Amino acid sequence: MAQLNLHHLRLFRAVARDGTLTGAARSLNLSQSAVSTQLRRLEAALGHDLFARRGRGLVLTEAGRIALDHAEAIFRTADDLAATLSETAGSRRVLRVGALSTLSRNFLIGFVAPLIGRSDVELVLRSGTQGDLIRGLEALALDIALTNMAPARDAASPFLVQALSDQPVSVVGYPAPSADAPSLAQILTSEPLILPTPETGLRAAFDALIERLGIVPRIAAEADDMATLRLLAREKAGLAILPPVVVRDELASGLLVERARLDGITERFLAVTLQRRFPNPLVAEVLEGAARAADPEALGHAGDARPGRRG
């Protein structure tokens, strides 16, 4: 294992990407025999064949796929180290933000809004499951993850969790046909509802609410992401249970209205980062901006897109 080095991994990655020794050697400006020799040394050091021949090309074995995942993580770490230590005041910086695929896109855009349009910043936005976000942070492929689920933590946990906003939750839909003001229980029993799926925290809180009220709602649809809840509400499938920030534009235009506020139920938005010796300075900048936006006294006349606004 002492023979394993970045040079071997770089050759291996080139072969994995090209699928042939000839193409990889050409891209590396090396002879095919040199690439083949170094690849055999890497396989010997790891104790596994990394490729299997298929026709005229090479395909990764199971061990090869595992090795490639680790190699990519190693090179991302190396790139991050080089970029961090060589950073100058005038350099273009990259902020890689991951968001839970079910998270409000309005909230995501509001979170990064202070950086949008800056000539010195490049934004990379990705979405995925909670597991995807955690793996991205651990591999340094993400600088920050936005979620509504805190990762498990213990004394040895490398994660830092910061609450960004507790968004209120409302019953949202098209304007009521009459001017009457029905009670919350009447609204929830008289009209079809569009609900988050049962595994979400928001749905658990809503189910507890209807249990307390002693009512049985009419469920028209369920969805596991906020974008779908929003679209279903727009299509008049029913009244949606969601944070108003998700339908901020529709509320502003009057297309949708808040029919009732679900007092005591909130959707918490969290920022998760990894403890790093050389953190990306843009992380602190965007978190400070989110903290200011969430402070009513600091908001002033800030735009509704900022996190912390009530939609």
How do the domains of the chain map onto residue ranges?
6-75, 85-165+269-299, 167-265
Strand partners, 154: none
**For the segment 273-305, what is each residue's pLDDT rounded down to a tens digit?**
988 877 888 999 999 888 887 654 433 333 343
- The CA-CA-CA angle for residues 213, 215, 219, to 5°, reads 125
Indicate the fold that domain 85-165+269-299 takes in CATH: D-Maltodextrin-Binding Protein; domain 2 (3.40.190)
- Write the class of the CATH domain 6-75: mainly alpha
* Tokens read off for 297: 């006294």
Greatest CA separation for the chain? 83
**For the segment 102-134, what is each residue's pLDDT rounded down to a tens digit?**
888 888 998 999 999 888 888 999 988 888 999
Question: Is residue 114 classed exposed, middle or buried when 0-12, 13-18 and 19+ CB atoms within 10 A define those classes?
Answer: middle
- pLDDT in 10s for each residue of the chain, 311 residues: 455 788 889 999 999 989 999 999 998 899 999 999 999 999 988 899 999 988 888 999 999 998 988 888 888 777 777 766 665 545 668 899 999 888 888 889 989 999 998 888 889 999 888 889 998 888 888 999 999 888 877 666 788 999 998 889 999 999 887 767 788 999 999 899 999 999 888 899 999 999 999 999 999 999 988 889 999 999 999 999 999 989 999 999 999 999 999 988 998 899 999 888 778 889 999 998 888 876 544 333 333 433 333 33
Neighbours of 23 (CB within 10 A): 16
pTM of the model: 0.61
φ, ψ at 81 (rounded to 5°): -60, -50
CB 173 within 8 A of CB 259: yes
- Write the class of the CATH domain 167-265: alpha beta
Establish whether domains 6-75 and 167-265 are of one fold: no
